Amino acid sequence: DTNPTTLKVLMVPWLAHGHVIPYLELAKKLSKTNLFFIYFCSTPIILNSINQENLPKNIQLIEFPLPSSPQLPSHQHTTNGLPKNLLSTLIQTFGEAGSTFAKILDSLSPDLLIFDGFQPWAPELASSRKIPAIDFLIIGSASVSFFYHHYLYAGKRDFPFSGIFLKDYEAKQLQLTAEMNISIGPNVAFNGLEKSHEIILINTCNEIEGKYVDYLSTLSNKKVAPVGPLIREMETTTENSKIIQWLDKKDESSCVYVSFGSEYFLSKEEIEEIAQSLELSELNFIWVLRFPLGEETNIENALPKGFLDRVEGKGVIVEKWAPQARILEHPSVGGFLCHCGWNSILESLHFGVPLITMPMHFDQHTHSRMTVELGTAMEVVRDDQNGKLNKEETAKVIRNVVMEKNGGENVKAKVKELRKKIREKGEEEFDQVINKLLHLSTKNKQVNTQYDIKEE
Ligand code: UDP
């Protein structure tokens, strides 16, 4: 049972790894203040994937049962490992789960709801029960403000920051991708911004993208409060230690870590290009390779003929999942060839690893532009018209970054400088957020708290 003076917060992230991780980290950060009791609500398959041993006592996991169907069995109520053609079914099923969520709300009666995209029902259900609902965005403010600006002004006004833009093939790709239409559609992604109660939380910090945080505030006419960077805690398993031992034997900053996140799957052509680029770079590498559910392939067959023999000793392929945070913090890693998922970008800054960016889809293009503008990344050059990769170019960028030449040395210096700034920044901003949350929720409930609630 919760202490009656503790505020009850219900958190419900979208069903993707890249959302669940920062939501859980925010839950832990809130729980540390001892002012909140957190109900963390998600589908059984996602809750089962959470390591419950180290979970603070004031976080309770709450099951959100979505309707199962032959097309979408309950073990697929997550985007992780979901066959590509079922993503829109999952979005739709979640979008229709409002009545189930209403029951959860009524049984828990939280003082505050922290919600995410793809939940058009969340703010309405909460506000009809006088519960403040707050949007927590898990991608960067440069990207959110870029897409929101375009949604609001529909091409009538230029985005005020020239560093963030889409290349021709990217703009074409985003309009053509069905998933993107769903995810940047006004009913979903921007619904949260518009319905959020007075404040919007975002997993970033002013040191990384302060001007975009401010611009998002202007666009949304709400306080946009950065609460990041929220970085996931490390995993330690014996499986993981093998790769760490491999890194231990390599020279400092001599390896490139290659990963495309939890949801993007490389095409056969991309696998070949990347393999050849890594070979051409002549650098040590760790490459995480994954295939969609039902399309698992023998790794050897997926790679160019003889590749594994040729790179033996120099490169390792990790199947499915690597202990990314542990790899990035290792001194032998000198660069990260990255798809630009937001969590990966924050991790690269947190661990001070220079990026070689290869954005694939969605918001990754604009995340890449932001890191290049920051000076902490070099982007792999593609064909302007069709976005095709070029192995010589890719190898060159990888080498420049890892070997710190032709500008790569500046990237390294910048990433180290920013890492220091982020680690040394105080918690004043977060304290302000806590104040605001307490204030919002105590509007509905008189609570005797020691915390100094300041009116703004
Ligand atoms: N991740 C990992 N091992 C992998 C792939 C990903 O630990 O093999 C983690 C990574 O550290 C990050 C998250 O999964 O925290 C991926 O989130 P991101 O936003 O970078 O990309 P997404 O998966 O959403 O495309």
The ipTM estimated for the assembled molecules is 0.99
pLDDT at 54: 83
Atom 5 (ligand 1): residue with closest C-alpha?
A: 261
pLDDT at 180: 45
Distances (CA, A) of 136 to 202, 290, 331, 438: 5, 29, 33, 16
Helices then strands, each counted (H, E), the chain: 20, 13
- Of 87-91, 100-104, 333-337, the least confident: 87-91
The catalytically annotated residue of 19, 77, 149, 350 is 19
For residue 347 and ligand 1, the question of a CB distance below 6 A is answered with yes
Cα of 324 vs centre of ligand 1, distance in Å, is: 7
Residues 6+ apart with CB under 8 A from 264: 339, 341, 360, 361
pLDDT at 392: 97
Assess whether pLDDT exceeds 60 at residue 173.
yes
Tell me the average pLDDT of the chain: 90
Active site residue 330: no
pLDDT tens for each residue of 269-292: 999 999 999 999 999 999 999 988
Assess whether pLDDT exceeds 60 at residue 191.
yes
Span 25-52, average pLDDT: 95
The catalytically annotated residue of 116, 135, 197, 330 is 116
Assess whether pLDDT exceeds 60 at residue 384.
yes
Write the burial class of residue 399 (CB in 10 Å: 0-12 exposed, 13-18 middle, 19+ buried). Answer: buried
Q: How confident is the model at residue 203 (pLDDT cuts 50, 70, 90)?
A: very high
Q: How confident is the model at residue 178 (pLDDT cuts 50, 70, 90)?
A: very low
Q: What is the pTM of this model?
A: 0.93
For residue 359 and ligand 1, the question of a CB distance below 6 A is answered with no
Distances (CA, A) of 341 to 62, 237, 264, 366, 445: 27, 24, 10, 10, 38
Cα of 259 vs centre of ligand 1, distance in Å, is: 8
Span 140-152, average pLDDT: 92
Q: How confident is the model at residue 385 (pLDDT cuts 50, 70, 90)?
A: confident
pLDDT at 456: 42
Q: How confident is the model at residue 295 (pLDDT cuts 50, 70, 90)?
A: confident
Q: Max alpha carbon distance in the chain (Å)?
A: 69
pLDDT at 444: 56
Question: What is the crossing angle of helices 428-442 and 17-32, to 10°?
Answer: 90
* Lookup: tokens for 410: 């500046």
Q: How confident is the model at residue 182 (pLDDT cuts 50, 70, 90)?
A: very low
Assess whether pLDDT exceeds 50 at residue 344.
yes
* Lookup: tokens for 322: 């690597």
Atom 22 (ligand 1): residue with closest C-alpha?
A: 261
pLDDT tens for each residue of 225-241: 999 999 987 766 656 68
Helix residue spans in 128-220 (DSSP H): 141-153, 168-176, 178-184, 189-195, 206-220
Cα of 325 vs centre of ligand 1, distance in Å, is: 9
For residue 142 and ligand 1, the question of a CB distance below 6 A is answered with no
Assess whether pLDDT exceeds 70 at residue 454.
no
* Angstrom distance (rounded) from CA 355 to CA 368: 9
pLDDT at 455: 45
For residue 116 and ligand 1, the question of a CB distance below 6 A is answered with no
Q: How confident is the model at residue 188 (pLDDT cuts 50, 70, 90)?
A: low
Give, rounded to a whole angstrom, the gap between the first and last alpha carbons of the chain. Answer: 32
Q: How confident is the model at residue 176 (pLDDT cuts 50, 70, 90)?
A: very low
How many C-beta atoms surround the C-beta of residue 285 within 10 A?
25
The radius of gyration of the chain from alpha carbons, rounded to an integer in Å, stands at 22
Cα of 443 vs centre of ligand 1, distance in Å, is: 38
